Amino acid sequence: MKNFTTLQWKGDIDGCLELTDQRKLPAQFITIQCKTPEQLFDAIKTLAVRGAPAIGVAAAFGICLAAQQLDKSKLSDAVRRIEQQADFLSKSRPTAVNLFWALERMKKTAHDFAAENPGAAIDDLRQCLLTEARKIYAQDVQMCHNIGINGEEFVPVGGSVLTHCNAGALATAGDGTALAPIFEAQRKGKKFKVYVDETRPLLQGARLTAWELQQAGIDTTLICDNMAGALMKDGKINAVFVGADRIAANGDAANKIGTYSISVLAKEHKIPFYVAAPSSTFDLKLQNGSQIPIEQRPAEEIACFMNVQIAPPNVNVYNPAFDVTPAENITAIITEKGVIRCPTEEKIRQIIV
C-alpha cells in the first residue's frame, strides 16, 4: 500500500540507518541518515522516527552503528561496549517496550556469538549483529501483514472507523498495526470511511495518519480530538482501531494520550474498540497498566505551536505522552499470532507465550 520506506539500512556492516524524517511531514518528505548511536538517540527522542515497532527496529540497527565503533577491541570488551550502547539507547523513550525488547535481543545475540566464537574477529561480530537486526526488520514487516489479515474482518463494510495518533506504515517497518487491517480491507475491495483524530499536541493523526491514508487512496476525514464523542452519538463511528506502546499481562494497554478517553466514549456508545499490536509490545512482567512507565514530554509541545507561544509565559504544563486503557474497555487485541477477544491474562498467555 505504501510508496515510501520508513527506515532502512543502507550498505553492509559499514553502512548507516536511513529514516523518513517524520518531524517534517506532511509539508516535506525528506530522509535523514544516522551514522552513530548518538544521532539515532536524538532521532528517537525528537520523534524523527516514532511508533513502538519502528523504534524497536531502529534500535536494533542502532546496535549495528555502535558496533562500527569497536575497531580492534577484544571480543569481551566489544560485548561490554554493546551493552553500554544498548543501555544508552534504552533511555531515549521509556514507554514503548519494543525498544527494550529489540535491544535485549541484540545484546543476547552479541553474548551468544562471543560465547560460541571466542576467537572470532570483530567484523564477524558486526556481521552477526547486522544479520540479527535485518531479521528483526523482516519479522516486523511480516508481523504487520499478519495483523492486517487477522484484523480485516473487523473493518465494517460501508461503515466508518475512527483512528487515534499514527499506527501505520510510518510507525513500523511494514504496513502498520492499527492501520494494517484497514489497508487489508481496502485490498479486499471493502468500501468504508476513516475518521482521523488530529491527536494533540503533536498532531500525529493530522500530519501522519491522514497523509498515509490519502497516499493509499482511502476515504479519509480529519477531525479534532474533541469531536469523537459527538460523531459516536450521531452514529457516524462503527469501530475504533488504535495501536499500543506497551500492554500489561492483564490486557491494559498504553497508547498515545487521549486513547483512554476514546475507549470510554466507545464503551458508552457500544462501539467496538480494537487494539492492534505485535507480541513484542506485551510486557508480561507487568501485572497491570498502573505499572507502565509514562513518558513526560517537554512543556513547549503544548505551550507553543509552530514555534509560536500560544499559552501565557511560565504557565504550568502537564504533558504525558501516553495514557492507559483498561482491558475491560477493549473489545479485542489483534496480534500477529491471533485475536484476543475480551482480553484477560489467561487469554493473553494462551496466544502470546
User: Is 21 strand, coil or helix?
Assistant: coil
Catalytic annotation, pick one of 245, 252, 283, 323 = 245
Has 245 been annotated as catalytic?
Answer: yes
Q: Which domains does the chain have, with CATH numbers?
A: 7-146 (1.20.120.420), 150-352 (3.40.50.10470)
pLDDT at residue 306, rounded to an integer: 81
pLDDT at residue 2, rounded to an integer: 63
184-187's contacts with Cβ under 8 Å and 24+ in sequence apart are 184/148, 184/149, 184/151, 184/152, 184/155, 185/152, 185/155, 186/1, 186/216, 186/217, 186/218, 187/1
pTM confidence score: 0.95
pLDDT in tens, the chain (353 residues): 567 899 999 999 999 999 999 999 999 999 999 999 999 999 999 999 999 999 999 999 999 999 999 987 789 999 999 999 999 999 999 999 999 999 999 999 999 999 999 989 999 999 999 999 999 999 999 999 999 999 999 999 999 999 999 999 999 999 999 999 999 999 999 999 999 999 999 999 999 999 999 999 999 999 999 999 999 999 999 999 999 999 999 999 999 999 999 999 999 999 999 999 999 999 999 999 999 999 999 999 999 988 899 999 999 999 999 999 999 999 999 999 999 999 999 999 999 98
User: Is 229 strand, coil or helix?
Assistant: helix
Strand partners, 194: 161, 220
